[in-house]
Structure 1
Amino acid sequence: MVTIDKSFIMNHTCLRIKDPKVSVPFYEKNFGMQLVRTLEFDGFSLYMMSFETPKKTGLNWSGREGILELCHNHGAENDDNYKVNSGNGETFRGFGHICFSVDNIEYVESKLLDNGAKFQKKLSDGRQKNIAFVLDPDGYWIELIEHGRSKVENQTNQSDYKFNHSMIRVKDPKKSLDFYCNKLGFKLLKTKPFEGAKFTLYFLGYDHENKLVENDADPKEQSYLESLIELTHNWGTEDDESFSYHNGNSTENGAIQGFGHTCISCDDPVKFCNELTEAYGDELDWSVEIGKANISPDLAFIRDPDGYSVEIISTKIFQ
């Protein structure tokens, strides 16, 4: 029996970056994110960015939802050949984007353009006029959606922005939903099929208070949440034995790294990981078992059915 208590949250998404002196100010200036913690290790540093709210005040960084972890390998900023894989190229596709929900998307887009930000898709492009994709300094896609709360014409309030979700492409939704929902305790909030384009989106998140109807969450409520996971399934991939996505970490066959992992945190990761192992045994693919990580005993990494890494940590780690 695996226990999912109210301490479980989707804590962060990790992206590798070339230069923190470029990336950190980009997220601070354009979106109002705050650097809430920097962790230094041998050979790399982690920069924890967050949209801070009174609800998060006093919480350890690992006990907060909506953290963006920027991972910098020391020296990358001085390497002219260093680059990352956004996950959206023609080869080595996998990770798709992060998504910020804002109060006034038209005004936010105009301010980003004034600041010189580059766009993969502006509001006026394509059929969907209610979303945009801006590019960060390393070329990662940031989807912009609007929650519309307290919207004021020709204004925006960065303190009301949300890190709404992270998107990854999956080969077989049945296997992925089983992993995230039955093993990690996520709730399926919404399924959105797109018949014409032949793909389906699955939105997952923790909902300990049962405020949202399973698989029928109100879109406005969903857009105001933080730390959801969006699984994108392109129809037919589940039937192709040779098909696979790049997990962001592999360097096989000339692949370049980029996306690192998603992360859940809870009060007792040791208990949780032991319960997972007892319940599912060889079904699980641990890359780092609990208690065996060099940097902390309260840390583990498990791979999902597509090989994406999910970190499991304590809400009190590295206080």
Structure 2
Amino acid sequence: MLTRRQFTQFTFAAGAASLAAAPSAWSAATGLKGSTLTLGYQKTGIPLVARQLKVFEKRFEPLGIRIEWAEFASGLNLLQAMDTGDVAFGNAGNVGCIFLQASGGRVAYVAAQPSTPRSEGILVKEDSPIRSIADLQGRRIGYAKGSSSHNLVAAALERQGLDIKAVTSIDLGAADAAFAFDGGDIDAWAIWDPYFTIARRRNRTRVIAWQGDVLEDSASFLLANTGFAKAWPAHVKALVEGSAEAGRWARANPAEVAKSVAAATGMPLDVVTEVNANAGFDVVPLSNAILASQQRTADRLFKLGVLPKSVAVREAVWDDADRG
């Protein structure tokens, strides 16, 4: 059983073109500064694997480009660093990308990582009278406002012909929501991994809605600073190809990935192993279906009043990105 202190500690806080041809003033705002290319990563996922395998170092050092890694506590922080040009390339979840686009951020979608069906869901206690999404009416449900779980709750209710006002929404971060759920202060909890897996281990629970049953074709994304992507398309393609290579290695070596993530995060190995079993390591082109799903999420967030303006997702897609 994980203690509150342990649980809180696990919170992560939501090419080949010639370098000589690149203007130094331009590179300073794109994540490529002189001969140093800065990449962002978090303590999990494909970028962590790529960093440990030195995938990008092997691709870029022969070109005279040194790889520098910058660690971030959340995808939103990483996106902000890409926007300012402190980082050239990284990955983030779908909702953070939408918020950054709405704020005019200089970040482009370059590839997708399809979401897996069981990495997020809506939980209730095993002895709860709530048996379905329809039973949530009038109940207290915890989730972080403006997060992927907010989107999941709204989409699940939509499928039942219900507005989100049909439930009592409690805005809670992951750690606070975990203990509110443990203590019975909320009737249901919408949450993503690793908290999803940890919660199911801490309590006897039932899942009344899996992400995969509610949100079709959802994905997280590989992204690049727009200036960087425009100036060095071959570099971006090399980064996408390297990410796919790291993903293939991760699928073939799950035990090694679990050990690395456990060491990086401090989470127990058995928890990480279960989380990774629910995770996806595929890198795919930006298909029409994935982009349409991302647009539905953007439209839903705007309708919910948490997005400051409507956005057209395709306007932030890199021009050279492949289409599936």
TM bucket (normalised to shorter chain) is under 0.3
TM-score normalised to structure 1 length: 0.27
Which structure carries more helix by proportion?
2
TM-score normalised to structure 2 length: 0.27
Larger radius of gyration: 2
